[in-house]
Structure 1
Amino acid sequence: MDELPIGRRVAYWRGRRKMSQQVFADRLGKSKSWVDKVERGVRRLDKFSVVYEIADVLQVDVQLLLGKDVERRPETQNCIDQVEVEEIRAALERYDQMSAFFQAVPHSPPLAEMHKAVSHAWLTYQHAKYGVLARMLPKLLRDAQAADSAYATGADAKDAAHLLGQVYQIASSALRKVGEHELSWLAADRSIAVSQRAGDQLLAGLASFRVGSALLALGRVRPALEVNVNIANRLAPVHEPAHRGERLSVYGMLLLNGAMAAARIGDSATVRDLLCGAEQASLELGGDFNHYWTSFGPTNVQLHRCAAAVELGDGRAAVDTHEKIDVVGFNALLPERRAHHFLDIARGYTQIGNIEKASEMLLEGDRLAPSEIRCRPLAHEVLSDVLRRTRGTPPAPIAELAEQMGVGV
């Protein structure tokens, strides 16, 4: 996009932000005609002050509007910035698989190397190293797509498809964390199709879980609830000893995700039923495991009880559940899960007016996994709420965190 005129870049980012020309003009204090002329190149943008104002309204780095490389500040190194999002988007927009239909793929990484790279990417995500993950994802996507094409007709076809399905899921999860919900949905949807080719019902079930998460983030709550519950019903564990732990884990996560969707629409009865079903699955599983990268087990069910209570607006129930969570089980979870929970409980404490404890939870999450707090739009909202409701000068640690996150005190 660097070669485009600045007006076209403005139009592109306005479209990405889903703003009409009229809404964009109103926020700038300009006329719709002025915006139209700028985007068509009829009117020049020759004042830096106006360019900076446009960048502010569009919430992009001004260097992107100017067609220059964005200078990455040290404090953003562990987050996914706009340049990296666009690189991931470009990788998702590739359709090399169609080219492979007509001619052989010239190069593909060995599948053994791909297995190692995909496992490393999962662990990077579960340790909430989102900046590191963002920098590896574009190449990983391209390599996985190339492998899927290269091995499409051989004995390794299902293995290659399985790897690509996982990479799409990793990308979907990471993109959702930073608010790129449409892209997250696209990646998750791709994973469903690829997972079916891989012949793995559990991978396809997890892809449905990612689709449900993306739909929920997009505000499409009822479709999110339906996809999670429908696929969970199809994966309900039967009396089959083979892969029972993996099936229980994927089934349980679908129920937990369904519970979060039900909580979003205030359906407490469905929340209770789905959480009970997930709890039963976790007890049958017999502990906390990371089958299929789910981190599913009794502890994760308790974390979701807290999160669902927060979504229902019952901060007191969330805090009460939080205080009863098994400490040993909680500390054994990977950093992303624990920091995510601290963010949920910070929201719960704000609901009951305990701003001091909410601050403590944000700081604890930041200590454990900084990217989970500093990179997520939701965390910015919670911190803004905490600052707004803090009487007098905020405590130094919270003020410092706000400054580092760019949240106004």
Structure 2
Amino acid sequence: MDELPIGRRVAYWRGRRKMSQQVFADRLGKSKSWVDKVERGVRRLDKFSVLYEIADILQLDAQLLLGKAPERRTDGLTCIDEVEVEEIRSALERYDSMTSFFTATPEPPSLAEMAKSVSHAWLTYQYARYGVLTRALPKLLRDAQALDSTAGGDDARRAAHLLGQVYQIASSALRKLGEYELAWLAADRSMAVAQRADDPLLAGVATYRVGNALLALGRARAALEVNVSFANRIAPSGGRDATPDRLSVYGMLLLQGAMAAARMGDNNTVRDLVNGASEAADRLGGDDNRYWTSFGPTNLELHRAAAAVELGEGRQAVETHERQIMRREGFKALLPERRAHHMLDLARGFAQVGELDRAGEALVEGDRLAASEIRCRPIAHEVMSNVLRRTRGAPPAPIAELAEHMGVGI
């Protein structure tokens, strides 16, 4: 975007923030006509005070509006910045499988090297090291795409499988960090690649990534339908097909469908889907991480609590935590992202029943388990803001300190 006029950059980022010209003008204290002229280049934007005000409203570094790269952050906890978003977007918009017909594709890594990189990326995600992951994603995407476009014979399916996983990792991380449209694009790409990989379970995992992205975009019914539809297609019959892999993917599809139903306020569907997932978890026999799902009896209870929060039943979520989750050894064995995510859900539950100190304590515990899961997620910022706003007097020191680290004002 460096070559674009500044007005076009303003229009681009306004569109990314889903603001109409009128809403943007109102927040800026200008007329819609003024905004339109700036974006079309009819009116010059030459006052730095206005430029920085625009950047503040659009929630980005003013250097981006000037066509310059903002100062890159180097600490290990940073979440994602505009430069990283654009690099990931650029990698997602590559079509190596098409361009390889006309131009030479860069030398890709070997299948063994790619498999090692993908495994490391999954662990980076499940340890909630989002800053590290987002900086690695552009190269990982390009390498996986290059390998997929050049592999042939028996290697083609393996290369497609690895690319599908990279798209899923990207979708999951982008959704966590609030880049929902890119998360949907990456998940959709993963579904297409899964067909070439000839792996219905990979397609199933891609499906619930799509469902997650749709839910984040506010399309709960579509998320419910896509998860349940694919779950029905791969439902184990009870014979040889009831493998641990299939049970794990099937169970997670049902749980993601339950989350979508909860968002819609459909308590009956939530109950039916969770019960179906519970049967799959019982048949699985224990907690596992097959197909990177972390599915099992413990993760089932985490989703039961999360669904209760979505339904506005905070007390039920808290009771599920105290009676079913904290007593399980399996909870301590879960990877940090899962445990910290649950603490965020628990904080929401405590906030719903007015136990604000305990809500803040849950956020602090989640931060201890996996800081990026709390400090980087928009929903965590909303919860912390809610806790601070409703707390009488000064909040306890650990909560106030975490709020400061998160950049949430007291």
Smaller-chain TM-score bracket = over 0.9
Q: Which residue of 2 aligns with 1:332?
A: 333
C-alpha deviation, 1:99, in angstroms: 1.0
SS of 2:275's equivalent in the other structure is helix
What whole-Å deviation, never above 9, does each CA across 1:54-79 have from its counterpart, x for those lacking one?
Answer: 01111112221122221245668431
Aligned to 2:97: 97
Give the counterpart letter for 1:148 in structure 2: D
- The question of whether the paired residues in 1 share the 8 Å contact of 2:224 and 2:257 is answered with yes
Over 3 Å counting, the alpha-carbon distance change for 1:58 and 1:103 in structure 2 is closer
User: After alignment, is 195-204 or 77-86 more displaced?
Assistant: 77-86
Which segment drifts farther, 49-58 or 93-102?
93-102
Could you tell me which residue of structure 1 aligns to residue 162 of structure 2? 163
Give 1:154 deviation, angstroms. 2.0
| In 2: Cα distance, 1:243 partner to 1:236 partner | 8
Letter in 2 for 1:357: R
Is contact 1:215-1:221 (8 Å) kept?
yes
Q: Does 1:202 align with 2:206?
A: no
Conserved? CA contact 2:77–2:372, under 8 Å: no
2:218 maps to 219
After TM superposition, the score normalised by the length of structure 2 is 0.97
Number of residues of Structure 1 aligned to a counterpart in Structure 2: 408
Cα distance in 1 for partners of 2:331, 2:389 equals 31
Tell me the C-alpha RMSD between the 2 structures: 1.3
Residues in 1 aligned to 2:187 and 2:308: alpha-carbon distance in whole angstroms: 26
In structure 2, what residue type is equivalent to 1:337?
Answer: R
1:222 & 1:158 partners in 2: Cα distance?
33
> Residues 313 and 24 from structure 1, CA distance in 2 versus in 1: closer, same or farther, beyond 3 angstroms?
same
Task: Say if 1:247 and 1:113 are closer, same or farther in 2 by CA, change over 3 A.
Answer: same
Please state whether the residue corresponding to 1:101 is helix, strand or coil: coil
Structure 1 residues 15-63: Cα deviation after superposition (integer angstroms, max 9, x where no partner): 1112221221111110111111211222222222111110111111222
Q: Distance in 2 between matches of 1:334 and 1:316?
A: 25
Give the corresponding residue for 2:385.
Answer: 384
Match of 2:357 in 1: 356
Partner residue, 2:287: 288
- The whole-number CA distance in structure 2 between the counterparts of 1:361 and 1:115 is 36
Alignment of 1:131-146 (within 5 A): 131-146=131-146
Report if the CA contact (8 A) 1:335-1:369 is conserved: yes
Moved more, 227-236 or 40-49: 40-49
- CA drift of 1:243 comes to 7.2
Q: CA deviation at 1:321?
A: 0.3
Residue pairs, 1:3-402, within 5 angstroms: 3-73=3-73, 77-103=77-103, 105-151=105-151, 153-241=152-240, 244-324=243-323, 325=325, 326-402=327-403
Aligned 8 A contact 2:247 2:284 in 1? yes
Cα distance in 2 between the residues matched to 1:316 and 1:239: 36
8 Å contact kept, 2:76–2:132: no
Is the partner of 2:101 in helix, strand or coil? Answer: helix
For 1:187 and 1:10, how far apart are their aligned partners in 2?
Answer: 25
In structure 2, C-alpha distance between the alignment counterparts of 1:53 and 1:294, rounded to whole Å: 43
d(CA) in 2 for partners of 1:93 and 1:74? 26
Superposed CA deviations along residues 94-130 of structure 1, whole A, max 9, x for unmatched, are 1121111345534211110000000000000000000
Contact 1:231 1:254 in 2 (8 A): yes
| CA separation of 1:243 and 1:140: change in aligned 2, threshold 3 A | farther
Whether the aligned pair in 2 keeps the contact of 1:14 and 1:58 (CA below 8 Å) is yes
The CA distance in 1 between the partners of 2:41 and 2:242, in whole Å, is: 60
Specify whether residues 125 and 213 from structure 1 end up closer, same or farther in structure 2 by C-alpha distance, changes over 3 A only: same
Per the normalisation by structure 1, the TM-score is 0.97
Identity %: 75
Letter in 1 for 2:210: V
Q: After superposition, what is the alpha-carbon deviation per residue over 1:170-221, rounded to whole angstroms, capped at 9, x for unaligned?
A: 0000000011111100100010010010000000000001000000000111
How many Å separate the matches in 2 of 1:56 and 1:344?
Answer: 30
Q: Is the 8 A contact 1:78 1:129 kept in 2?
A: no
- Kindly provide the CA deviation profile for residues 361-389 of structure 1, in whole angstroms up to 9, marking residues without a partner as x: 00000011000000000000000000001
SS state of the match for residue 296, structure 1? coil
Contact 2:77 2:129 (8 Å CA) reproduced: no
The amino acid of 1:40's aligned partner reads: R
Report if aligned partners of 1:316, 1:352 keep a CA contact under 8 Å in 2.
yes
Contact 1:216 1:261 in 2 (8 A): yes
Does the 8 Å contact 2:298/2:328 carry over to 1? no
Q: Which runs of 5+ in 2 are unaligned?
A: none
